[in-house]
Structure formats: structure tokens, C-alpha cells
A and B are shown apart, each in its own frame.
Chain A
Amino acid sequence: MDILETLETLWNGSGFKSLFTGDGWKNIIMIAVSCVLLYLGIKKKFEPLLLVGIAFGCLLVNLSYFVGGDTADALYHLDLWDHFLDESHPDYHSYGAIMSHGGLLDILYIGVKAGVYPSLIFMGVGAMTDFGPLISNPKSLLLGAAAQMGVFMAFFGAVCLGFTGQEAASIGIIGGADGPTAIFLTTKLAPHLLGAIAIAAYSYMALIPLIQPFFMNLLTTEKERKIKMEQARTVSKTEKIIFPILVAMFVILLLPSTAPLVGCLMLGNLWRECGVTERLSDTVQNALMNIVTVFLGISVGATTAADRFLSPETIKIIVLGLAAFCFSTIGGLLVGKLMCKLSGGKINPLIGSAGVSAVPMAARVSQMEGQKANPSNFLLMHAMGPNVAGVIGSAIAAGFLLAVFK
């Protein structure tokens, strides 16, 4: 055995060589980015359940996939997915090619690509959500609709910045503050932007307690923030059982493209409320949700290969994502103020900002700001109405964009 030759072969096949030749510097930057994301997830607790997985997926792909290098052992192959989307390539829409040539993360990514993981996450969200506050106060739906303003403002802004309609739609949905919906829509319309959009969506969701209070204080008066809301009526069990069936029928008939998300959300909720499927409800809330979160995080992180992620588009997406969150908050608050005026001061406009669907973070922010103005103010349950309405609203917004741009 020629030791020198063996060493040379090992060196030529190693990632270290690839890091320091050609475009390897891009991978070094992405490895640093993944470490920052890990820091944010672990130390700052920014949506850690997903961000830690995304960050580690980002680390893994940038340690194993080098453009122009040997990609045989890579965990995720950009070229395979390019072929998958290329109509002129023999592997167009061939999951078989992915299964036979792909790495671990390619195979896990199939669940994202097929829209399976986001829908299953929605099932878990449905099983964890109590729609009681929304049923007792249906006006909350208006706030959930108003808070989708950011989606369409960011969509418009993205078109102005030169993105195509499909890309702009995917960027806009960040304003829905709903990670699974953003991933679902982006996978369908602009999969090449998935990494940047998912990271922006989850990072800003974690930053809601920092983003929203500024606009809440700017757009509402002290007197409005002090408003105490009347206790909502008690919702019967039958109403809670009928609700998911009604919403599924109505929303899916209106926008069939929302069927995977709304269907799973409402099925999860029906399991929770019907009282005869506790085992299933428990499984989707916990075990299934955790398993899907593992796969979703790591495979979304894998799409952040240096070659695609390090581009001016990513910076534009980050900026547009922030604008989307801000406009969504503003939209909810403005309609909240309008409802406050129309109801003769019975509605605290702070609950409007909870219309962005980051459940329950946005509702908690409304509660905290309300209590700052008046320590005896309890807005949490009132804010949960718009909050869960926002989940339905963002699914409808995504369904609309999917129907128009697919």
C-alpha cells in the first residue's frame, strides 16, 4: 500500500479540500450562518423546536455538498432536485431517481416536497387548538382577515423588487406568520427559495414579542389599551364538534387548494373535540407532531446550500419578511381600532395584532401589552379568537395564491 497515494486520495475526497478551493468559501459562510442560527435557537430560544433542526440541516448540507466538488456522499443534492423540476430532464418529477441517487436529507425532503409534513403539522396544531374563543366571538374572524394585510403588501413589494409572481407569493406568505403554510406554499411555487423563506418565517415568529409592541403602542391610545372586554359566552361541546366540520366544508369548497392544510387542521381539531378519539388526539398533538418536526426542520435546513442561499435575493426576502410581519400587525390593529369605535369602546384594539397566526405567541403579546396598560386586564382568551382566526385566514390567503400562481 502506497501511504502517500492513500493520503492524497483521502485529502482529495475530504471536505476540507473542497472548503478551501473554488466556491468553498461560500460553504464556510453558511457554516457560520448555521452556527448563528444554532445560537439563536438554543441560547435565545427563537422557535427552538424547528430552528435548531433547520440550523443543523443547514450545517450538514454545507459540510457535505460542494458545488463543483464530489457530491456522491452528500446528504442533499441540489442537482437532483433541479432535474426533478426540469421538464426536459428524464428525471422530471421522478421520486424514484431521488430515492435511488439521493442522500438521507433528499429522502426526508420528499415529505416537504409532497406537502406531507406541513399538513401533518397542521393536524397537530388543530388537535392542540381550542377554537372556543373564536366560536364565542365570531367577529374575531375579521381581525384574522385584516392581519393578512402583510401577506399581500409583501407580495406587492416583492414584485416591485423584481421577483416573479410565484416567488412573490411565497415571500408574501411569510406575513401570515405561519411556518407550515409558508413551507407548503413555497414548496409548491418557488422551492428554490424555501430555505430563506422558512428561516425568515420562523425567525420573525420568534421575534413577535419584539416586533409587535412598538406598533401596538404607536397605533393605540392609552385609553384604548385599558379597555376591559366582557367575558365571552360559554361554547357548548356540540358547537365545538360542528365547527371543524363546517369550516372544512366551507373553506375547502371556497378554495379547494386549501384542502391539505385546512382539511388536516380541522381533522386534528375534530379528534380533539369529539371526545371519542382521545388516543388519536394525543398522538397527533405529541408523538406525530414531534416526529414530523424532526423531519421538517432538518430537511428544510438542507435547502440552504451555499450556492443557492448566498444571494442578494435572500437579503431581499429577509427585509420583505420583516415588512410583511409589520404590515400584518398594522392591519390587525387598524381593524381592531375600527371595531373598537363601532362597538362603542367594548373591544380592546390590542387583540387585533393577534390576528397574525403565530399561536399563541401573538395572543400572549396582546395580553402582556393589555396588562401593562391596566394590570387587571385579561385579554388572553379574547386575543385567542383572532389568533386562531389568523390560522384559517393565512390558509385561505395561501390557497388563493396557490390557485392563482400554480
Chain B
Amino acid sequence: MFEKITLAAEAATEAATEASSKGDELSIGDAAITAIFGYAVVFFGLIILMAVLYCTGAYFKSKDEKAKKAAEAAKKSEPAAVEPAPAAEQKLAPGSAGHVKLFDVPDKEAAMIMAIVADKMQTPLNELHFISIKEVK
């Protein structure tokens, strides 16, 4: 299989380099081989890159999970802190669809984001329920 690919590569490169070194026109057959081979090279290159990205991604995911588990374990071992009243118990504003949790996002920016989303979706804001807004760093 690999030999066949190598032979096709050599044929395409030879055909193209011969034509270009002579400075004359490339034959249609040679052009077709070069085009197919070129397209295959682009795919090959990006597929290998994809595999590399999957590998690094898997490594970082597992690392994140380990860190999460360690954090959870550390949290469990600490004495329970006084938690604020759950969101459901807080009083809702009239017409509101619920509370939204904000992580590192100021109230003004959150309001703006919610207004933009509602506008883009062409849906009244009070019909949308935002669960949380978190800044991705």
C-alpha cells in the first residue's frame, strides 16, 4: 500500500518537474495526477496534524480531570463553609425566567450579553433562561 503511494508520488513529481524544467506545457494526464496527488498530500498533512492534536488534547483532558478530582477531594476534606442561599430561594423579579450564575462577569456585561442573545434569537428576554455566564480565558 505504502509502496503504491510512494510510486504515485514519484510519478506525479516526475511528471510535473519534467514539464516545468523543460518550460513546456503540462499534459492533461500529468496535470490530473499532480492535482489528485496534491489534494491527497493536503489531506495527508492535515490528517496527521489532526491525530497529533487529538493526542495532545487527550493528554490535557486527562490532566484536567485529574486536577478536578484532586480539587474535589480536597474540597470534601475541608469543613463545609457557610453557603449562600440557593438561587431558587431568592425572590424572582416580575416576568423573570430565573436567576443566572455569573463567573468573573460584571452585571452590566452579563445584561448586555443577554440582551444581544435575545435580540439575535428574536425572542423576548423574559422567555429565555440563562443558567450561567462564564468568561472563557
Q: Let me know if B60 and A247 touch, CB within 8 A.
A: no
Residues facing B in A363-406 (CB within 8 A) are 371, 375-376, 378, 389, 392-393, 396-397, 400-401, 404-406
Between A166, A234, A251, A400, the greatest number of chain B beta carbons within 10 A of the residue's beta carbon is seen for A400
CA of A149 to CA of B36 in the docked complex: distance in angstroms? 9
With contacts A138-B53, A166-B20 known, is A393 near B34, CB below 8 A?
Answer: no
Indicate whether B72 reaches chain A with its CB closer than 8 angstroms. Answer: no
CA of A368 to CA of B106 in the docked complex: distance in angstroms? 29
Q: Which of B13, B20, B43, B54 contacts A145 (CB 8 A)?
A: B43
Indicate whether B61 reaches chain A with its CB closer than 8 angstroms. Answer: yes
Q: Let me know if B60 and A392 touch, CB within 8 A.
A: no
Indicate whether A45 reaches chain B with its CB closer than 8 angstroms. Answer: no
Chief secondary structure at chain A's binding surface = helix
Indicate whether B62 reaches chain A with its CB closer than 8 angstroms. Answer: no
Residues facing B in A336-354 (CB within 8 A) are none
Complex interface bits, A137-168 against B, C-beta within 8 A gives 1, otherwise 0: 01101101110110111011001101111101
CA of A212 to CA of B66 in the docked complex: distance in angstroms? 44
Q: Which of B28, B49, B60, B120 contacts A238 (CB 8 A)?
A: B60
Pair count A-B, CB < 8 A: 126
Indicate whether A236 reaches chain B with its CB closer than 8 angstroms. Answer: yes
Q: Let me know if B42 and A233 touch, CB within 8 A.
A: no
Complex interface bits, B26-55 against A, C-beta within 8 A gives 1, otherwise 0: 101001101110110111011111101110
With contacts A162-B25, A404-B16 known, is A239 near B42, CB below 8 A?
Answer: no
Q: Which of A151, A371, A400, A401 contacts B120 (CB 8 A)?
A: A371
- Chain A: residues with Cβ within 8 Å of the partner, total of 53
Q: Let me know if B122 and A375 touch, CB within 8 A.
A: yes
Which residues does A use to contact B, with CB under 8 Å?
A: 134-136, 138-139, 141-142, 144-146, 148-149, 151-153, 155-156, 159-160, 162-166, 168, 233-234, 236-239, 242-243, 246-247, 250-251, 254-255, 371, 375-376, 378, 389, 392-393, 396-397, 400-401, 404-406
Which residues does B use to contact A, with CB under 8 Å?
A: 12-13, 16-17, 19-20, 23-26, 28, 31-32, 34-36, 38-39, 41-43, 45-50, 52-54, 56-57, 60-61, 64, 120-123, 136-137
